């Protein structure tokens, strides 16, 4: 679980590195893709933390449902941006006309930060 969480942190690292280059298309594509990956990996870390095996899927809404069924209380920000994040996973790699807006990116970043912070706090409580 902590390996998956570390990989999420690596994806956010990439996002932060390319953000200064917005609105450059390559920077936007890299940030959108890695933001989706970061949220996906935190959700999968939650699933692992709750004793389940995460599916090999990239659908953020589906991962949210699995988390909620396991008893995880997800921030609304995550569910609000789930569909956009799922699109970013594939479209940033294959679609030359990926839909991206700075507002959606900010929402996705906030969703990641809330998820990561909440899970990190839960892990810390569990370890004490």
Q: How many domains does the chain have?
A: 1
Q: Could you say which residues of the chain have pLDDT below 70?
A: 91-92, 96
Quick one: which of 51, 53, 50, 54 has its CA closest to 71?
A: 50
Query: For residue 92, what is the domain's CATH number?
Result: 1.20.120.330
What pTM did the predictor assign?
0.93
At 74-108, the pLDDT tens digits run 999 999 999 999 988 876 677 767 777 888 999 99
- Distances, alpha carbon 18 to alpha carbons 32, 60, 120, in Å: 10, 23, 25
Q: Which domain holds residue 116?
A: 2-127
């Amino acid at each position: 679980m902590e390996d998956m969480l570390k990989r999420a942190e690596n994806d956010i690292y990439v996002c932060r590195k390319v953000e200064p280059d917005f609105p450059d298309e390559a920077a936007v594509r890299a940030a959108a893709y890695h933001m989706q990956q970061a949220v996906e990996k935190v959700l999968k870390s939650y699933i692992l933390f709750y004793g389940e095996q995460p599916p090999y899927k990239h659908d953020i809404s589906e991962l949210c449902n699995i988390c909620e069924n396991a008893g995880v209380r997800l921030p609304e920000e995550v569910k609000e941006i789930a569909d956009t994040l799922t699109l970013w996973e594939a479209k940033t790699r294959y679609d030359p006309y990926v839909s991206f807006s700075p507002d959606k990116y900010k929402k996705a970043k906030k969703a990641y930060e809330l998820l990561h912070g909440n899970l990190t706090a839960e892990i810390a409580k569990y370890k004490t």
